[in-house]
Structure 1
Amino acid sequence: LIDNFTSVLRRALSGTFYPVLQQAIGFGSAFEGWTAREEEVVYQVLVPLTPPLGHIFHLERDTDQQKPGRNFRVRVELECRCPREYQGMNMLCFQHHPDVIRRRTRQPNLLDLLCTDSYLDVKKTVHWFCALVGASWRRLPQSRSWHLVLLPSKRICNLRLTNGQESFQVKVLFGVQRRTSDIFISSRHRGAHTPSTMWPETYAMAETKFFRHMARQAPQDSSHLKCLQLLAHVLVRKDFSIHSIKTIIMHLLNTVPVSQWHRRHFLLQLSDALEQLRLSLEKKHLEHFIVGNQRLPEEIRLPPDVQRAKPPNLFHSLAQDPAAHSQAMQAY
C-alpha cells in the first residue's frame, strides 16, 4: 500500500524540489512476527527521504545533554553545481542563482517549502505528505474496497483503513538514513515537547533486521516470538514498556545458543526472560541492544559512532526515581 502511495507521489512530485520519497521500510512487531495486543493491527513504516536535485542534507548532532537520546537536525543547503574552475562566474546553479532557477522552473526550493531556519521541519513535512495522501488516494486500486481516514498526528502520518469487516492502521514515519547504515534519524517524537526541527535517531529498523536474522537462524519450531508476545501482553499491563521487554529478549537471543530456543524449552525461555528482567530491575540497569553492541550480526550495519557509543541505560529513570523503582519492583 505505502509503496503504491510513494510510487504515485513520486510521479506527482517529478520536477519539483520536494524531498524524494524512497521505498518504505516496515519495522516493529507487525513485521517481526509478534504483537502485544489483540486489538487493531498497526503497521509501522518509515519512508526514507533524500534531497531533491540541487539540494544537500547535512545531519547535525544535537549536543543538548538535557534532551534524552541521540538527536539530530537536518540542515538543508543549496548545492553548487558549477564546475570548480567556474565557481562564482555567471553560470546557473542552485547555490549561486536560486532566484533565476526559481523563476525558470516556477518551483520554490526546499528551503522555501518545508524548512524552518534552513532546517527540515518534521511537522511541515508530515503535513505536506498527509495532504498528498488525501489528494492521491483515489488513484490507488485499494480505494475501491477500502475507506481511508487520516487520523490527527503532528509527527507521523497516521492512516486507518476499513472495509466494513476489518480495519488496520498504518503509521508512516519519515527519516533520513545515516550514510549506508541501518540507522536513521526519524520524525518519531521524543517527549512531549520535541522541537519540530529535531529528528531523533531510531534503531527500530536495525532491531527488525535482527529479528529477521534470528528467524533464519533459529529452529523451525522456535518459540522466541511466542515468548516475547506473551511477556509483552502480560507485562505491559503492569506498566513495563514493550521496548524494555523486547530488549531483554533480544539480549537473550544474542547470547543463548539458538538450539535452546526449541518449543520444548518454552518454559525455560520464559523463566530466563523473567529472571533477566528481575536482575535488571534490581540493578536499575538495562543496556540498549543496538547502541554500542559489538556482537551484532554482520548484516546489521551501524555508523562507527553508534557502534562505539556507550549503551544507554533503558532503566535510567528508575535509578533517578526511587519511588518509580519501588513501584516497578512491586509490579514485577
Structure 2
Amino acid sequence: MPAGIFRVCLVVITAIVNHPLLFPKENVTVIENTEEVIQKMKEREENLRTEQLKLEQEIAAQEALAKSSEKARGPEEQYSRNSLSWNFWSALSMVVFLLIELWRQDYQEGNWQDYTNEEDDMSILGRAFKGIILPDKATLANFYERCLQAVTSDIARNRELVEGFADDLLEALRSVCNRDADMEVEESIGIGSMYENWRAHKPLACDFIVPFTPPEPYSFQFETWCSGESVPPDKQGCGVIKICRADETSTGCICDKTKLGEDLLCLLHSRMNQPGQNNHMEDLLCYKDTRYLDSDQVMAWFQVALTKAWNKISHKYEFNLTFSNLAVPGALKIKFRSGKTIAFNLTPVVQYADSDVYFISSFPRSGPTESYTCNIHWFLTFAVCEKRYIQFVSKMLPSNSCHLSCLQILSFLHEKQCSLTGPGSLTNYHLKTVMLHLLQTHPSSEWASKFLGARLQDMLKFLEKSLQEKRLYHFFIGNRNLPEELGIPVEFQRAEPLNLFRPFVLQRSDYRKTMDLFHEMLKNTAALINEYTMHVPNGRAIPLNKEPLQPYLNTTT
C-alpha cells in the first residue's frame, strides 16, 4: 500500500514540475497552433489515465497481499512498525525529490549564487544592467582625459602643500605634550584616494592617520571581533583597546622575578610610583570605571593638543586654521584671507600588533561601515594595506592600466547621482572594494587601457550582483589568497568573511533607497558623461566645468 501511494504521488509531482506551461524549460518553444496543443494535452491525459488505472490495480493487489501476509506474519505491532518506517522513508524521498526539482528550476532561471566564480556569473546576472548602453570606448577615454585627469594632476600639488604643514603641526604637537604623561605621537601616514591616485572630484582633501602609543610604563592590549554569527552586526570589524601597566604583565618587568637587593632600584617601578601619575592614563583616556580606551576621550585630548600646537606656530603662516567638524577629531580647514579654503583630516589611530592594520575612532569620510558603536569599540582600518596592495598590483599590470580610471569614473558617476537624488548607503569604500575583488580575479592583461569600457561594465555588474545578493565581502578579512608581501596578520586572513552589505538585510528602507540610486545611476550614466563632455570635430573632448589652477597655500618663513 505505501509503495503504491508513493508511486502515484511521484507520477503526479513529476507531471506537475515538468508541465510545459507551469515550468517552461530553456530552449523550448511553445507551439503556435492551438489545435496541436489541445491534441497533445488530450494524448497526455489519456496516458495519465491509463497509468492511473494500472497503479490502482497494483494498489488493490498489494492490499490483498498485505492482508494475507499480515495474518501469516503474526503480531500486528511488527507490521505497524514496518509500515510507519516505510512511510517515513517514502515521505523523506518525496521531500528530497521536491527540493531537487525546485533547485533545478532555480538553477535554470539563473539564480545560482557563487561568489568565487565571478567570471561565470557576469553572463547570467546584472539583469537591470542589460538594458543600459554605456558610451563607446573613445567617448569614455576623452571623458576621462579631460574631466578627471585634470583633477588627478592637481592632487600631487595639493598633497605636497598639505603634507608640509601637517608635519610642522605634528612636530609642534609633540613639543607641547608632556612626555611623561601624554600619548606619544608618531609620524603621519597618508591614506585614501588622494594617495591611491583615484580622487575623482573636488574639493581635494588629504586624509592622514596619526599613530599614537602610551608612555612608559603603559602598553596596549587588543581584542578584536572580526566576523561570525556570534558577533553582533554593529561590532563586526571592531575591537577594544585595554591600557595595561608593566607591573600587571609577567613580561613587563623582571624585578618581580629577581631579587634586586637593597642597593638596587627598579627605575621603571620607581617612575610608576611617582605621585599623581599612577592613574593618569586611566582617568583621562579610559571609559568610566574601566581600562578600555575611550574614543571620545582620545578625540578630546587630540583636539586640545592640536589647538596648543597651532597656537605655537600660527605666527609662521598667513591663514587661519579651524576645526571643520567637531565630531571628527582632526577634521581641519585652512582658510586664506582671500576666502579660499583647503581641508584635510588628521585622525588618531592605534597600531595593531606591529602591522599595517590600525584601530581608528572614526573614518574621515566614507568608511566600510557607518553603524554606531560604544565609545570603547574601535573600528579596524586596512587603509594602509589597501594602498600597499594597489601599489603591489600596479607593478604587475600593463603600463597605463585602467583599474584606477574605472574607479574614478564610477566614483564620479556615483557622486553626481547622489547630488541629484540624495545620498544612499553606498559609499566610495564599497566601490573600491569592488575594484580590489576584480583585480584579484581578472588577469593582469585584461586591465590594459584599451579595456576601459569592458572593465567598467564588469565593475557595474559586480556591484549590481552584490546589491541584489546583499553581500559584499571585505577584501582583507577572511581573504586567504593575499600575497605574503602585504604582511596581513594571520588571524584576519583565517577569520570568516565580513559582509559589508549585511546591514541591508534588516534596514529595508536604506536598501530600497540604495538600489533606486544605483539603478538611476545606471540609467543616467550616458547622460552624465555627455553632460560633462562636449564633442568637437577633431574627436577631442572639452570639459564643461574646467577651472584654471590657482595657488592654495602661502607661507612665510
Q: TM-score, normalised by structure 2?
A: 0.54
- What's the counterpart of residue 220 of structure 2? 57
Listed as ranges, the matches of 1:42-53 within 5 Å are 42-53=205-216
Larger Rg: 2
Is the partner of 2:483 in helix, strand or coil?
A: coil
Listed as ranges, the matches of 1:158-173 within 5 Å are 158-163=331-336, 164=338, 166-173=340-347
Is the partner of 1:43 in helix, strand or coil?
A: strand
Offset at residue 223 of structure 1 (A): 2.3
Offset at residue 138 of structure 1 (A): 4.5
> Quick one: which of 228, 237, 250 aligns to 2:407?
228
8 Å CA contact retained: 1:42, 1:171: yes
* Percentage of matched positions with identical amino acids: 25
Q: TM-score, normalised by structure 1?
A: 0.86
Offset at residue 308 of structure 1 (A): 0.5
Mapped to 1, the partners of 2:279 and 2:172 lie a distance apart of: 21
8 Å CA contact retained: 2:210, 2:348: yes
Offset at residue 57 of structure 1 (A): 0.8
- What's the counterpart of residue 201 of structure 2? 37
Offset at residue 3 of structure 1 (A): 2.7
The structure whose residues are more often helix, as a share, is: 2
- What's the counterpart of residue 19 of structure 1? 183
8 Å CA contact retained: 2:173, 2:308: no
Mapped to 2, the partners of 1:235 and 1:152 lie a distance apart of: 24
Instruction: Work out whether 1:69 is the aligned partner of 2:236.
Output: yes
- What's the counterpart of residue 79 of structure 1? 246
Is the partner of 2:450 in helix, strand or coil?
A: helix
Unaligned runs of 5+ residues in structure 1 are none
> Quick one: which of 109, 112, 115 aligns to 2:286?
115
Q: Evaluate the alpha carbon distance shift between residue 42 and residue 279 of structure 1 in structure 2; reply closer, same or farther with a 3 A threshold.
A: same
The structure whose residues are more often strand, as a share, is: 1
Amino acid across the alignment from 2:185 = L
Mapped to 2, the partners of 1:263 and 1:142 lie a distance apart of: 48
- What's the counterpart of residue 134 of structure 1? 307
Offset at residue 231 of structure 1 (A): 0.6
8 Å CA contact retained: 2:177, 2:305: no
Offset at residue 169 of structure 1 (A): 1.6
Q: Compare 20-29 and 294-303 and name the one that shifted more.
A: 294-303
- What's the counterpart of residue 202 of structure 1? 381
Q: Evaluate the alpha carbon distance shift between residue 187 and residue 329 of structure 1 in structure 2; reply closer, same or farther with a 3 A threshold.
A: closer
Mapped to 2, the partners of 1:328 and 1:8 lie a distance apart of: 44
Is the partner of 1:299 in helix, strand or coil?
A: helix
Q: Evaluate the alpha carbon distance shift between residue 282 and residue 145 of structure 1 in structure 2; reply closer, same or farther with a 3 A threshold.
A: same
> Quick one: which of 157, 161, 169 aligns to 1:5?
169
Unaligned runs of 5+ residues in structure 2 are 1-164, 248-252, 364-368, 419-423, 520-557
8 Å CA contact retained: 1:16, 1:107: no
Query: How many residue pairs were aligned?
Result: 328
Q: Evaluate the alpha carbon distance shift between residue 15 and residue 82 of structure 1 in structure 2; reply closer, same or farther with a 3 A threshold.
A: farther
Amino acid across the alignment from 1:207 = E
Mapped to 2, the partners of 1:199 and 1:281 lie a distance apart of: 27
Offset at residue 28 of structure 1 (A): 0.9
1:147-199 per-position Cα deviation (integer Å, ceiling 9, x unaligned): 21112333521101133364322222222111122211111166464322221
1:5-56 per-position Cα deviation (integer Å, ceiling 9, x unaligned): 2222223335322111111111111111112432x21211111121211111
8 Å CA contact retained: 1:43, 1:169: yes
Mapped to 2, the partners of 1:49 and 1:24 lie a distance apart of: 10
Instruction: Work out whether 1:256 is the aligned partner of 2:442.
Output: yes
1:65-91 per-position Cα deviation (integer Å, ceiling 9, x unaligned): 25242222211122124522249x995
Amino acid across the alignment from 1:170 = F
> Quick one: which of 483, 487, 494 aligns to 1:301?
487
- What's the counterpart of residue 501 of structure 2? 315
Mapped to 2, the partners of 1:23 and 1:14 lie a distance apart of: 17
8 Å CA contact retained: 1:82, 1:92: no
Q: Compare 125-134 and 106-115 and name the one that shifted more.
A: 106-115
8 Å CA contact retained: 2:176, 2:308: no
